[in-house]
Amino acid sequence: MNDTQSTQHKLNEPQWLALCAVADQIVPPSSKYDVPGAGDRQICKQVIHDVGERLPKLIETLATLNAVARELGGNDLGELPEPTHEGIASAFREAYPRAADRLAMWVTQCYYRDDRVLASLGIDARPPFPKGYEVETGDWAELEPVVNRRPIFRDVT
């Protein structure tokens, strides 16, 4: 059974391998901090899940990334040797900055919700409630402009 079939997601093999490869370029693994890279299979599956109805945009972005990889390296990104991934990712970012930013946002949001990453940052991997988190009291005077402004909505009565 190949990697794509075992993950049961909505990407084909070249798209899946490209996502994992580029995600590791966005956030590489670290043995120093004992954390996986963003190309970890669990994290990439979470990216696919979280994009939801924007899945066609993710697929389009990965197709463009693979096109850049084929142009520069002769094959899809996931089929090329790992040392070439950085250059291809840089070329993709330069040619398609908005798509690269969108992809980086999707990947990093999932990466920094992963329990292993949170643990390495010293953050409890739990929801904020019911225990809550301590929040330092700030200067409430900074909110005066918001409190004193006129309403920003139209009254329906």
Please check whether residue 51 lies inside any domain of the structure.
Answer: yes
Please check whether residue 153 lies inside any domain of the structure.
Answer: no
Domain count, the chain: 1
142: pLDDT confidence band, cut at 50, 70 and 90? confident
pLDDT single digits (tens) 58-102: 999 999 999 999 999 999 999 999 999 999 999 999 999 999 999
Instruction: For the chain, give the mean pLDDT.
Output: 90
Please check whether residue 111 lies inside any domain of the structure.
Answer: yes
Which of 89-98, 101-110, 147-156 bottoms out in mean pLDDT, i.e. has the lowest?
147-156
Amino acid at 146: V
Given a cut of 90, is residue 44 above it in pLDDT?
yes
Please check whether residue 30 lies inside any domain of the structure.
Answer: yes
| DSSP alpha helix (H) spans, the chain | 3-7, 13-26, 41-51, 55-73, 85-95, 97-111, 115-120, 144-148
Q: Which two tokens stand for residue 133?
A: 């988190």
Query: What's the whole-model pTM score?
Result: 0.77
Q: What pLDDT sits at residue 8?
A: 58
Please check whether residue 12 lies inside any domain of the structure.
Answer: yes
Please check whether residue 132 lies inside any domain of the structure.
Answer: no
Query: Domain range for residue 58?
Result: 3-126
Please check whether residue 137 lies inside any domain of the structure.
Answer: no
5: pLDDT confidence band, cut at 50, 70 and 90? very low
Please check whether residue 64 lies inside any domain of the structure.
Answer: yes
How far apart are alpha carbons 42 and 78 in whole angstroms?
17
Q: What is the mean pLDDT of residues 45-65?
A: 96
